[in-house]
Structure 1
């Protein structure tokens, strides 16, 4: 029988702390490049002798002189055993410790099991342990980084994000869609880890939401116990895993792919989408039947009535199992309105590209952008109020093929990878379809690829080069020539021997061979020293051409 593993999904964030009361999670060893100062943190780990399910962690800090104070926020599994140079900060939400000393120490007891939750947080065996060591820091008085060094008294170990592995481990790495993924495997059971990798690879092929899912994991043998808890993910994988193991793993992966943050009134959307796609992925991977999938995502009016809040403008009427039911129906509705070319995944893709917090208006705008028309009426009826949408019969949730929803000749996959807007045939509005820009090598997100103030579509029509600001090489950019009525395709528009740029400098007409009409070509006048803009350069009453004995 193959052994099971747990998956802990992590996002490793860099740590740069500046000013007063700016917090960031730990887990990154920062080299301090470009910084004038750094707080040094030395972590010493030891599996507490004679006490299972606990790890002893000593934190030693060296503060630079320009740091006025340093505060550490500890996870709830942690108990402070001893403190040197630190004082506890009164805080109803976090266990915070503050120091102003140059050298300070905290000795912590980190519990691997938390009885305040239904299940244990992390896991251990005789040979290894996995502990939550995700801390947050506040620095006062300086812009700085935190440099972290980890030491292990009882054999080997490693830190991945906010999770520490103590004891023997191995590593597994792989690549999906051009991104590198890495996993640490306590106990070295890489065969079981490969099963988790395979499931994630299959999920990646089906999920196209534009989010960057976690790329660093800890795969833990399931005999150590542990489940999904707080913001750290654990899920069993393997033949002897629980019935919901794969579902939990997929939820973690999908949830990690949703990078947008929601405002008040939209907090239902994130978990509903994650749950919808965890079941959808299982269905498409053959692990969940049509009937089971439908039962998993739908709810009844009676259930909604039990939890229904009073709907307001700011708080959509979503409760109980309704959010999951609504996102399933929304997926079906979008597919129906777009002939199957667009799905809920596209809405998530749009929201993942938004830097600011997503409120209801942003959500409605994203749905409209994907559907190609306003769906405010549908959303108002089913999201803001108590009405329940119907789920269609049949397999409405099949992943769409890699099509071309906007009909511009470029696949949605290519456009979503950053080439152009997958919902608009001419992304930059320059008059050229994105496919044409793809063929020409111009930028479909910039209406003037060469910066000559002449739109790419206009250049295509005029015959100029949209990738060269000065097509004919005469020193004048293409739009300047069009605006000045010279030919951007000819260095010497009128063929008088002077380039268009020279004529611009001299003040002659680049479209007239004899600007002043005195019978002499402009270039000839320069040879004889006459003025090509004055027919009688010396003012003697005789045009220059006659003076020189040249007749027109």
Structure 2
């Protein structure tokens, strides 16, 4: 009888423990912690209105609003023809209004193929002779002289090259004006008479292509897709992202027109294996490049179109690529293309790979990616520093905007002045000296007024971290094997400990049951 009473008391005590709040928490904690809701794939929106991203046609299309006074400004029509693998023939026809008394064209060292209504008036000039109101000149453009930089591309099917440096000088009774030939807004009218040609402010594209357009706010986005090229992101999503970036990036320097050229791959003529490059208000990018990562080449190149500090000292060369790289990551996060964890992981991981090179001294750079890696990290840390010191009222965008508005050359001193003014803290000069003018590397501690926790990674995000190279796969495999062995060892130890604990509990319960049943005194 005593034995049965003892067993009954043991079972009753175990049931009491399991039914207590402590026991319930232990039993249901695994379920609650494991039943997570998957995050939304991305925060982008898709526009379905019929006019979004519509294809546009052909030659002669007025691409941007004109700001020039038509009564005192000539009009321009340009035709481009590819006459050889590395040669373009550029034909320019002016429409000269009666108020213009004189007009000449500075052609540099470009060979002249023919003229009508122009005479030679110097080694590098053609002067209008007044015999016709529509004088014409034809020039030969050797692409090999202008595509040696990373920005120029020439292959069998297309050309993306810096535009030749040609200037128009004209005078009226009241004024004398000079404008680059490819600055479309400086002329009364501007027509491109070649179906295969796209003209940007400082760039020429020539080749068979499809063209799509989206106007957002004050910017006309034009997407050029060469024949046979397949986009990675959809046109709608790409246009949405660029339009959202145009609004979100509050640094000034907006363009009335931005031209994006999607290339199927990176031709061999480019240097450094780059995924894109920008000249003026036009850029090319790999067509298959993703939008949903912190290294979005589309956003990186778009940020370049918003930079207005073409003249800069050697000590500020790093800022061009560093600011484009940082804000590409920042925009990816702010537009919902990546989550908090991906964004912070990317920036914090840069400290591990950051070099000991000095940003302000390019001669110390062992690799050309120093501005992309260390430079972007320094700007991320600087942005957080400014936000922290101003309680979130100001950021690096305010500095960027001041630099865009400033006249003259961007120098390290003007950069420091802008940072100190925005942060209202003279101590920021010492901060910049430490991390820009020395080899020190800052820690990145993001400013977040909401103090939120990072969101959990999705399965597709985790899958994206799996290495694809043989070396990376081998290292990862070894690491996983070691981690598994360590985990099993820890679990084994925990199991033995739990077994001892359970046995001790039951022994204690047995002793208590025996005392209560009268078997133990």
TM-score normalised by L of structure 1:
0.49
Aligned to 2:239: 197
Q: 2:79 aligns with which of 38, 44, 67?
A: 44
Shift of 1:350: 3.7
Say which of 216, 221, 230 aligns to 2:258: 216
The residue correspondences of 1:20-419 to structure 2 (distance < 5 A) are 33=69, 35=71, 37-48=72-83, 51-52=84-85, 54-61=87-94, 67-73=101-107, 80-82=112-114, 85=118, 87=120, 96-102=124-130, 105-110=136-141, 117=148, 121-122=152-153, 133=163, 135-139=165-169, 141-142=171-172, 143=175, 146-148=187-189, 150=191, 152=193, 159-162=199-202, 163=204, 167=208, 169-175=210-216, 178-186=217-225, 192-204=234-246, 206-212=248-254, 215-222=257-264, 225=267, 227-228=276-277, 230-231=279-280, 232-238=282-288, 247-259=296-308, 264=313, 266-282=316-332, 285-286=337-338, 290-296=344-350, 300=354, 302-304=356-358, 323-354=375-406, 359-360=411-412, 362-379=414-431, 381-382=433-434, 385-386=437-438, 388-392=440-444, 394=445, 396=446
What is the aligned-residue RMSD (CA, Å)? 4.9
Deviation at 1:217, TM superposition (A): 1.7
SS in 1 for 2:357: helix
Query: Does the aligned pair in 2 maintain the 1:214–1:256 contact within 8 Å?
Result: no
Asked if 2 retains the 8 angstrom alpha-carbon contact of 1:28 and 1:161, the reply is no
1:114-168 per-residue CA deviation (whole Å, 9 max, x = no partner) reads 7852657246776x76665465424254436744554646x57664545455656
Q: Summarize the Cα distance change of 1:68–1:215 in structure 2 as closer, same or farther, 3 Å threshold.
A: closer
Q: Displacement of 1:197 after TM fit?
A: 1.6
- CA drift of 1:391 comes to 1.5
Q: Give the unaligned 5+ runs of structure 2.
A: 1-62, 178-185, 271-275, 365-369, 451-521
Query: Using a 3 Å threshold, how does the CA distance of structure 1 residues 79 and 250 change in structure 2: closer, same or farther?
Result: farther
Q: How has the CA–CA distance of structure 1 residues 376 and 156 changed in structure 2, closer, same or farther, with 3 Å as cutoff?
A: closer
* 3-state SS, counterpart of residue 234 of structure 1: strand
Give, in whole Å, the separation in 2 of the partners of 1:361 and 1:115: 33
SS of 2:305 mapped into structure 1: helix
1:282-325 Cα offsets, whole Å, 9 max, x none, are 46632966444344477756333995779xxxxxxx99976545
Task: Say if 1:82 and 1:106, in contact at 8 Å, map to a contact too.
Answer: yes
Cα distance in 2 between the residues matched to 1:72 and 1:352: 29
TM-score, normalised via structure 2 length: 0.52
The answer on whether the counterparts of 1:367 and 1:375 sit within 8 Å (CA) in structure 2 is no
Question: Which residue in 2 is equivalent to 1:469?
Answer: none
- The Cα of 1:186 is off from its aligned counterpart by 4.6
Q: Larger RCO: Structure 1 or Structure 2 (Cα < 8 Å, ≥ 6 residues apart)?
A: 2
TM-fit CA distance, 1:202: 4.8
Contact 1:152–1:166 (CA<8 Å) still a contact in 2? no
Query: Separation in 2 of the partners of 1:110 and 1:82?
Result: 13
Structure 1 pair 338–389 and aligned structure 2 pair: CA distance change class (3 A): farther
CA deviation digits over 1:55-88, x for unaligned, max 9? 43222346668544513346x9x76444564549
The alpha-carbon distance between structure 1 residues 329 and 244, as it changes in their structure 2 partners (threshold 3 A), is closer
Could you give the per-residue CA deviations for residues 238-294 of structure 1, whole angstroms, max 9, x where no partner exists?
36x799996332222212223456654545434432232223334663296644434
Per-residue CA deviation, residues 314-364 of structure 1 (Å, 9 max, x unaligned), is xxxx99976545333322322332344432223223444545655555433
- Structure with the higher fraction of residues in helix conformation: 2
Give the distance between the partners of 1:251 and 1:299, measured in 2 at CA. 20
The 2-side partners of 1:161 and 1:305 are apart by 30
CA distance in 1, matches of 2:250, 2:420: 19
Q: Distance in 2 between matches of 1:215 and 1:114?
A: 27
Give me the whole-angstrom Cα distance separating, in 1, the residues matched to 2:300 and 2:443: 22
**1:196·1:237 contact (CA, 8 Å) conserved in 2?**
no
Q: Distance in 1 between matches of 2:447 and 2:144?
A: 39
| CA shift digits 1:440-492 (9 cap, x unpaired) | xxxxxxxxxxxxxxxxxxxxxxxxxxxxxxxxxxxxxxxxxxxxxxxxxxxxx
Q: Deviations over 1:508-532 (max 9, x none)?
A: xxxxxxxxxxxxxxxxxxxxxxxxx
Shift of 1:182: 2.9
Aligned pairs, how many?
Answer: 351
- The separation in 2 between residues aligned to 1:88 and 1:364, in whole angstroms, is 48
Which segments of 5 or more consecutive residues in structure 1 lack a partner in the other structure? 1-26, 91-95, 311-317, 402-552
Q: Does the 8 Å CA contact 1:303/1:321 hold for their aligned counterparts?
A: no
Contact 1:214-1:253 at 8 Å conserved across structures: no
| Contact map agreement 1:332 1:391 (CA 8 A) in 2 | no
